[in-house]
């Protein structure tokens, strides 16, 4: 048995996992990397609750805003490479490294998503050469090859949406819900024109001129940003199916966007993928 | 003689203009629309300083965050149309209306720029069928026809840059100066790929992996945003020269971007254009 933590910036999920890979307990709270300063104390609390077990940590806990900045493993990287590069930060406590990619002057980084991506392959949910999409504040688009993370691109789609909702010209119009409906789909089609600065201002103009109900503006804006993201990826995807690892809400939006733009997408639960990945890494590390 | 005010959101420029169109006095301060609540008092102060003269106001003073929301004049619109639609908000005090454009479900609005645009034509600085670019927080791209504003697109390029510098993932890296140099030009070339969400995250990755000095990140980011904006416009411009109305710094950046992307641009002083425009509107209104 071991404890696994998917330790993000603003929240974390803790799992107690038995030797068959089954989850015996799970806890989700908002003690993300930015809320925690005494990591040994956090580990003690987990062991008090779930048992004096080995602990595997993944995510921003391994960055310079977390417990310790663990060096990236460079792509192509599979579960074996990550298992061989675990950083033992305390007795029996290991941090899974993130993955970097570089090709000439193009480069990208991930920290945390690697576990879900490799888990989706390890569990057989996706093929070893799948095109994976993990949407969120920073959406990861990952080409797998031979079961490894081969290359990837991160689009800060979710963060742009959050910034625009929070302040500036459009903020007052973007308070509505993002429903996966007609306004979202129209936004996707507009986003595929890949002229974000103009399409975003047009939300203001449409509001001022009474051409769109502000209740639909957030959905349209989300469609715009997700549509531009998906359009750029599909242009390079050569007809590949997009395997989306996500929660159902955001995954559904990305799936709709892929379909509006002529592609095919399948949804997979990201939590299941995380568990498969961390279990595989644990197996390989023993 | 009359008083003209280019009254923006965060600052204003006041001009005393004689009957030959020459400026006899000018004052610039930060009493923009958001800082002012007692407009009649502001007018009294101007008249106390420059004389009891007619006053023409342009810009956000004519919006719902200004003195009075003056209805837009719909494109195509020339100086005659604007002169015929001045709103007299107090004895001898007139607000120049903004311009809207609509074509099917596409629409855009401007308030204040119309004076500079029509002035550039009125002064002969640009042709009556010019493609004009007025960069800023909200960059206006305007197709003139027969000396009138025929259609236009607004790109919120400057605002996106400001939002990204202020908070979020990239803010810490974007404190450097935006020099019109190699980092800016490389950003323009990247921006022309029109994949902003990915190109923006790459600034983070490049910083984390030590591939670009953070001192160059702001220039690269500015190039990205301006490059994406210019690329979208040039794709529709059919080889037209871009006539830029701007201050020299921002205008220079846009001119460089146009040239990096294979186009031709000419710079024109926006203040000169404003004066020519407001004088022309004044003439036509008398």
CB contact under 8 A, B202 and A109: no
Range(s) of chain B covered by CATH 3.30.420.310: 157-268
Residue of A156, A193, A198 with shortest CB distance to B155:
A198
Interface test with chain B among A195, A234, A254, by most B beta carbons within 10 Å: A195
Q: Is the Cβ–Cβ distance between A184 and A250 less than 8 Å?
A: no
Interface test with chain B among A69, A137, A197, by most B beta carbons within 10 Å: A197
Quick one: pLDDT at residue B248?
A: 87
User: CA of A106 to nearest chain B CA: how many angstroms apart?
Assistant: 8
Rg (CA), chain B: 20
Q: Is the Cβ–Cβ distance between A243 and A132 less than 8 Å?
A: yes
CB contact under 8 A, B154 and A200: no
Across the range A94-105, mean pLDDT stands at: 96
Note the pLDDT tens digit of each residue in A156-177: 999 999 999 999 999 999 999 9
Q: Which chain B residues have a beta carbon less than 8 Å from that of A200?
A: 156, 160
Q: Which chain A residues have a beta carbon less than 8 Å from that of B202?
A: 106-108, 154
Helix axes A248-260, A182-191, angle to 10 degrees: 60
Range(s) of chain B covered by CATH 3.30.420.300: 2-128+270-285
* Residue B51 touches partner A, C-beta closer than 8 Å: no
Q: What is the CATH number of domain B157-268?
A: 3.30.420.310
Note the pLDDT tens digit of each residue in A114-131: 999 999 999 999 999 999
Complete DSSP assignment for B205-258: HHHHTTSS-GGGHHHHHHHHHHHHHHHHHHHHHTTPPEEEEE-HHHHHHHHHHH
Q: At B164, is the secondary structure helix, strand, or coil? A: helix
CB contact under 8 A, A168 and B157: no
CATH topology for A2-128+270-285 is: Nucleotidyltransferase; domain 5 (3.30.420)
Residue of B157, B169, B198 with shortest CB distance to A159:
B169
CA distances from B239 to B155, B168, B244 (A): 20, 38, 15
CA distances from A157 to A9, A167, A266 (A): 17, 16, 20
d(CA B193, CA B199): 9
Q: Which chain A residues have a beta carbon less than 8 Å from that of B211?
A: 102, 105, 107
User: What is the DSSP secondary structure assignment for residue A11, as one 8-state letter?
Assistant: -
Per 3-state DSSP, what percentage of chain A is helix, strand, and coil (rounded to 5)? Answer: 45, 25, 30
Quick one: pLDDT at residue B114?
A: 98
* Residue B224 touches partner A, C-beta closer than 8 Å: no
Question: Per-residue confidence at A239, pLDDT binned at 50, 70, 90?
Answer: very high
* Contact residues for B58 (Cβ-Cβ < 8 A; gap 6+): B4, B5, B6, B7, B95, B96, B112, B114, B115, B274, B278
Chain B residue closest in CA terms to A154: B198
Return residues 249-268 of B near A (CB < 8 Å).
none
Quick one: pLDDT at residue B247?
A: 87
Residue of B200, B228, B232 with shortest CB distance to A156:
B200
d(CA A10, CA A266): 28
Rg (CA), chain A: 20
Q: Which chain A residues have a beta carbon less than 8 Å from that of B190?
A: none
* Residue A80 touches partner B, C-beta closer than 8 Å: no
The chain-wide mean pLDDT, for chain A, equals 96
Sheet containing strand B87-90, edge to edge, reads B23-29, B12-17, B2-7, B55-59, B93-95, B87-90
CB contact under 8 A, A229 and B198: yes
* Residue A71 touches partner B, C-beta closer than 8 Å: no
Q: At B118, is the secondary structure helix, strand, or coil? A: helix
Quick one: pLDDT at residue B184?
A: 98
d(CA B248, CA B225): 18
Across the range A3-8, mean pLDDT stands at: 96
Note the pLDDT tens digit of each residue in A264-278: 999 999 999 999 999
Sheet containing strand B131-134, edge to edge, reads B148-155, B139-145, B131-134, B242-246, B265-269
Q: Is the Cβ–Cβ distance between B12 and B264 less than 8 Å?
A: no
CB contact under 8 A, A209 and B138: no
Its ipTM equals 0.95
Tokens (6 digits) for B129: 């069928």
The answer to whether residue A20 scores a pLDDT higher than 90 is no
CB contact under 8 A, A106 and B202: yes
List the one residue out of A283, A262, A258 whose CA is nearest residue A133: A258
Q: How far is CA B166 from the centre of its chain?
A: 21
Q: What is the pLDDT along chain B (286 residues), one digit of tens a residue?
A: 999 999 998 899 999 999 888 899 999 999 999 999 999 999 999 999 999 999 999 999 999 999 999 999 999 999 999 999 999 999 999 999 999 999 998 999 999 999 999 999 999 999 999 999 999 999 999 999 999 999 999 999 999 999 999 999 999 999 999 999 999 999 999 999 999 999 999 999 999 999 999 999 999 999 999 999 999 999 999 899 999 999 889 999 999 999 999 999 999 999 999 999 999 999 999 8
Tally C-beta pairs within 8 A across A and B: 122
The answer to whether residue A19 scores a pLDDT higher than 90 is no
Q: Where are the beta strands (DSSP E) in chain B?
A: 2-7, 12-17, 23-29, 55-59, 73-74, 87-90, 93-95, 99-103, 106-110, 131-134, 139-145, 148-155, 242-246, 265-269
* Contact residues for A102 (Cβ-Cβ < 8 A; gap 6+): A74, B209, B211
User: CA of B105 to nearest chain A CA: how many angstroms apart?
Assistant: 8
């Amino acid at each position: 048995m071991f404890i696994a933590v998917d330790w993000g910036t603003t929240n974390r999920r803790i799992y107690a996992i038995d030797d068959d890979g089954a989850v015996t307990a799970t806890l989700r709270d908002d003690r993300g990397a930015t809320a925690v300063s005494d990591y040994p104390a956090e580990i003690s609390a987990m062991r008090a609750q779930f048992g004096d077990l080995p602990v595997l940590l993944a995510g921003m806990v391994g960055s310079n805003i977390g417990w310790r900045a663990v060096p990236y493993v460079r792509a192509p990287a599979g579960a074996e490479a990550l298992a061989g590069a675990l950083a033992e930060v305390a007795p029996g406590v290991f941090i899974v490294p993130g993955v970097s990619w570089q090709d000439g002057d193009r480069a990208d980084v991930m920290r945390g998503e690697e576990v879900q991506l490799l888990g989706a392959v390890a569990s057989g949910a996706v093929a070893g050469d799948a095109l994976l999409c993990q949407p969120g504040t920073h959406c990861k688009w990952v080409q797998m090859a031979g079961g490894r993370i081969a290359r990837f691109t991160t689009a800060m789609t979710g963060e742009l949406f959050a910034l625009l909702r929070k302040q500036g010209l459009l903020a007052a119009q973007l308070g509505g819900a993002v429903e996966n409906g007609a306004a979202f789909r129209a936004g996707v089609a507009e986003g595929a024109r890949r002229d974000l600065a103009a399409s975003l201002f047009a939300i203001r103009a449409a509001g001022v001129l009474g051409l769109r109900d502000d209740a639909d503006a957030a959905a349209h804006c989300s469609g715009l940003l997700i549509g531009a993201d998906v359009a750029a990826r599909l242009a390079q995807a050569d007809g590949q199916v997009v395997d989306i690892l996500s929660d159902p809400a955001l995954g559904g939006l990305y799936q709709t966007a892929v379909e509006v733009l002529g592609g095919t997408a399948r949804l997979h639960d990201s939590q299941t993928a995380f568990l498969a990945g961390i279990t595989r890494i644990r197996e390989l590390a023993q």
